[in-house]
Amino acid sequence: MKSSIYNAFIKKDLKTVFGDKIIFLPMIIIPVIFCLLLPVGLLIGINFIPEKISDSDFDQLPLPPEIMLLGEKEKILYTSLNILFPSLFLLIPVLTASIIAGTGFVGEKENKTIESILYSPVSISEIFNAKILSAFIPSFLITVFAFLMFLFVMLIGINLSGINLPFPVLKWSLLTLWVSPSVSLLSIFVMVIISASAKTYQQAQQRIIFIILPLLFLIIGQLSGIFILNSLLLFIIGLAIFITDFFLLKMSVKNFIPEKL
């Protein structure tokens, strides 16, 4: 019974999302830019860079000693794979989850359809769980697809360029399968909490900037040498976000009632 209820709500929300180009296109364009166009541009541009550059800015970065001994191409590729792209990649689960959740929660409220759903024979908890799943599942699948696209492009590009630099598989696996799901849930729960006060979908989306800003700090923090985003730190970050998700879940449930929506 519950599975049929969940399927009905998931199909309804996804039909709304994929039926609106204004909502759907950003979910496709963002992964294509971050995981296809930017990597391809990097791999093409890197072939025009000399092996050695005197007084290179990369000499000032907190890179591992073994990387500092390599050429400029390897340094640029290492910095991109380990510092720049991981932070940009996390924007994908944040934006896709918030877009779908915003449509499912705030969009229903804006269109005056949330009341009929909340007062239907289906329990509030079942509606809540279904809407969480309808945002999380597509967001996770899009994120995994984006990673596979990025992995394919980078492996082909590295081999064609003849650059001797291994792809950080463990780091990106943690990023995709551990940190990204936690960030997706964080975005969804924040959107649920926001839906209690936001009157329009655009108003709710503007507040997601508070989740995006820490991702920019990940880039700045690494480039300035404050920390290095290694596999252990990624695991800790993911765990911390999952713990935060647990408390946000409690807050979200309290906000998802007819009186507040």
Between helix 38-45 and helix 124-161 the angle, nearest 10°, is: 20
Is 35 in contact with 149 (CB distance < 8 Å)? Answer: yes
Q: What is the pTM of this model?
A: 0.88
Is 92 in contact with 30 (CB distance < 8 Å)? Answer: yes
Is 62 in contact with 152 (CB distance < 8 Å)? Answer: no
Q: Measuring CA to CA, which residue among 12, 235, 20, 211 is closest to residue 114? A: 12
Summarize the confidence of residues 198-222 as an average pLDDT. Answer: 76
Q: Measuring CA to CA, which residue among 95, 109, 116, 94 is closest to residue 200? A: 109
pLDDT at 9 over 80: no
**pLDDT digits 0-9 by tens, 133-159:** 989 999 999 999 999 999 999 999 998
pLDDT at 74 over 90: no
Structure-token match 């910095």, residue found: 79
Phi-psi region for residue 158, left (φ > 0), alpha (ψ -120 to 50) or beta?
alpha
Confidence of residue 199 (pLDDT cuts 50, 70, 90): low
pLDDT at 193 over 60: yes
Say which residue, 1 or 71, is predicted with more confidence: 71
What pLDDT score was predicted for residue 69?
72
